């Protein structure tokens, strides 16, 4: 049976990522949650395309790369989100982005060195990701009802999910170095 958060057509890399995530989450961390491992594997598939990593856009259509700007884009009251559905979509993306960057590219976080652009710290990514997934979990009615609990578990176990992705990264990194892709305009 197809659940609402599973695509109808699997990505060609999905079996590979499913196995890699399962090996780390279940085999090394003892996290036995098929919905979480499936979601994270699909997230890895989605972010194999750089434009998906930076899919939140500003009013001019440019990709938003800064976490603080993404947070503002998610706010329907004080920010630029035109609706609560838009808030949910951007918050889901922020959770996905934070999980992916913190787990797969920890070197992309700010380590107190001065950079041209602000890079979030690991703590900022964790806070933004946990909060965002929690907010998504609160959209628990109608078409969002079935997947709300998954986002609650992702929020509650966010740090553990990051650790699991770090283990996936380490396993994949044995093959070649990983670098965060640039934004695609």
The proportion of the chain whose per-residue pLDDT surpasses 90, expressed as a percent, equals 69
Would you say residue 93 has pLDDT above 90? yes
Asked if 135 and 87 count as a contact pair (C-beta separation under 8 A), the reply is: yes
Kindly list the domain boundaries of the chain, sorted by start residue. Answer: 14-110+127-173
Asked if 178 and 60 count as a contact pair (C-beta separation under 8 A), the reply is: no
Rounded to two decimals, what is the model's pTM? 0.86
Q: CA-CA distance, 181 to 165, in Å (whole number)?
A: 17
- Using pLDDT thresholds of 50, 70 and 90, give the confidence band for residue 176: low
* Digit-coded pLDDT (tens) for 67-82: 999 999 999 888 889 9
Phi, psi of 179 (to 5 degrees): -130, 140
Would you say residue 24 has pLDDT above 90? yes
Asked if 43 and 11 count as a contact pair (C-beta separation under 8 A), the reply is: no
């Amino acid at each position: 049976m197809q659940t609402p958060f599973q695509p109808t057509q699997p990505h060609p890399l999905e079996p590979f990522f499913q196995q890699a995530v399962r090996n780390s989450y279940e085999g090394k961390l003892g996290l036995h949650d098929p919905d979480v491992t499936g979601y994270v594997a699909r997230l890895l598939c989605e972010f194999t395309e750089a434009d998906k990593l930076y899919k939140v856009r500003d009013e001019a259509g440019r990709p938003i790369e800064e976490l603080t700007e993404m947070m503002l884009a998610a706010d329907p009251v004080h920010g630029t989100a035109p609706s609560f559905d838009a808030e949910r979509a951007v918050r889901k993306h922020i959770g996905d982005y934070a999980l992916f960057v913190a787990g797969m590219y920890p070197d992309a976080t700010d380590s107190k060195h001065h950079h041209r652009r602000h890079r979030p710290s690991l703590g900022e990514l964790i806070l933004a990701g946990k909060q965002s997934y929690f907010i998504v979990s609160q959209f628990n009615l109608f078409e969002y009802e079935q997947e709300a609990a998954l986002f609650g578990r992702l929020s509650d176990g966010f740090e553990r999910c990051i650790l699991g992705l770090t283990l996936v990264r380490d396993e994949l990194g044995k093959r070649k170095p990983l670098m965060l892709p640039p934004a695609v305009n």
